[in-house]
Structure 1
């Protein structure tokens, strides 16, 4: 990383400050409230946008996809994300500054564990400008629990950054971030095989493939062993019909008009779906 990009990332200041918050903490315990309280004490001016706290426990890939697909719709922010099955181990706590995009010209910041969670969101926000291993313990809680870094490490760091503190004061610059494996996508003649990225609460199945991988003339397809139609909207097919469409994140998705494609095809994230055309 060059000096110019480091300097640029060091001057990011959110006004008004915003912190987005994504976790697998759920809503039945006090974990989310404890993190909110930490932020409120250190950065009372910060506005917190809760993305979701219902990520399946430990599902880093799901959290990464949700954050990457949501962050561009949010204002420039400090994106605090904690899905951290390796909490308390040798995995590093990190913060990332992004280059920015046309809608986020000043860039954004991301805070969380170095387990691949933050990388897709950073890429959706213009790419990584600077990454820092959080080693400045003065920014942490006075006592750091081995099992709750969300409250004791990540929330305090996010609060300080949202208040305009220097990213480079948070720790040491690094360039060897952990990345998630690329999801499986394979094309063969008249066949596309793609990994399931996510399944939403409606049972819509988002694939790792993008629409350009299917010929525009491929309107009648078979998904697994079920006939499907390629449509623009859910309502373009009869109720109960299996369809393939482009979702709001620009990915190919398998859906059922008025039903659940995940239930119909018995699909979960990580499964591979075969589309014949």
Structure 2
């Protein structure tokens, strides 16, 4: 069987043009690589949104080198890192928690190293475009066979800085991780948290968002409620989300990240 070419994916908040430049850097170093732009539409500066995209998407991509760039701290002392995972992938990006959930989904972090060897950067490094000057060259060299440990000193990646859900008796409080393109509010909580707060909860059960005075329905699908009606559902990555069927929960409730939502049983 012929050997598969190196695979590199890119997920950024840059937009198409700057992400295309990063792809060009990779091709310039590894002309035979397959380069996939997973997304160039992550909300600018939304680290948690980018982290959840990588966590959800990368298990479905081929084993390879995956670049994630949502980097509000570019040019500051924050570290650029590469994380090798149990599945065999290498994740490249800023050390701001962005890569850690995906690493956990890919078998856990085996090792991580700082991207500090100038041999694996572009000759000139700007203060504001590390995607082009540091992350993409490192990813290309990794795809070409350079070992993660050759890039620089060992590192312990910083975790994603997001509050955990709080479970009470008949109450669940969780932060909004991000707002998706449909205006749905994705929460840092899952079905186990819901069950811990409310016990077994059947689809169709009524809940309310504390302080909003509006009933929502725990539904399996958007079509479980009428158009324009709100619902709580479990999204395709296993997280709870607050949505409006054919509408925007962000607009309906006037909430976005980093707000916190508290769910309680609906008043009879």
Q: Answer yes or no: same fold by TM over 0.5.
A: yes
Q: How many residues align?
A: 255
Tell me if the contact between 1:64 and 1:117 (Cα under 8 Å) persists in the aligned partners.
yes
Match of 2:82 in 1: 95
Q: Which residues in structure 2 correspond to 1:184-263 (within 5 Å)? A: 184-214=164-194, 215-217=199-201, 219-224=205-210, 225-263=213-251
CA spacing shift, 1:217–1:37, aligned 2, 3 Å: closer
**Helix, strand or coil for the counterpart of 2:154?**
strand
Superposition misfits of 4+ residues, deviation over 3 angstroms: none
2:172 paired with 1:178 = no
Deviation for aligned residue 1:180: 2.4
Tell me if the contact between 2:81 and 2:114 (Cα under 8 Å) persists in the aligned partners.
yes
Match of 1:66 in 2: 53
Tell me if the contact between 2:209 and 2:216 (Cα under 8 Å) persists in the aligned partners.
yes
Match of 1:124 in 2: 105
Distance, in Å, in 1 between the alignment partners of 2:10 and 2:201 is 41
2:82 paired with 1:82 = no
**Helix, strand or coil for the counterpart of 1:172?**
coil
RMSD (Å) for aligned C-alpha atoms:
1.5
Match of 1:19 in 2: 8
TM-score, normalised with respect to structure 2: 0.90
Tell me if the contact between 1:78 and 1:110 (Cα under 8 Å) persists in the aligned partners.
yes
Match of 1:268 in 2: 256
**Helix, strand or coil for the counterpart of 2:153?**
strand
Distance, in Å, in 1 between the alignment partners of 2:143 and 2:129 is 21
**Helix, strand or coil for the counterpart of 1:270?**
coil
Distance, in Å, in 2 between the alignment partners of 1:22 and 1:196 is 21
Deviation for aligned residue 1:79: 0.9
Distance, in Å, in 2 between the alignment partners of 1:82 and 1:132 is 17
Tell me if the contact between 1:183 and 1:197 (Cα under 8 Å) persists in the aligned partners.
no
Deviation for aligned residue 1:223: 2.3
| Structure 1 residues without counterparts, runs of 5 or longer | 1-13, 101-106
Match of 1:165 in 2: 146
Distance, in Å, in 1 between the alignment partners of 2:72 and 2:193 is 34
Deviation for aligned residue 1:276: 0.6
**Helix, strand or coil for the counterpart of 1:123?**
helix
| Structure 2 residues without counterparts, runs of 5 or longer | none
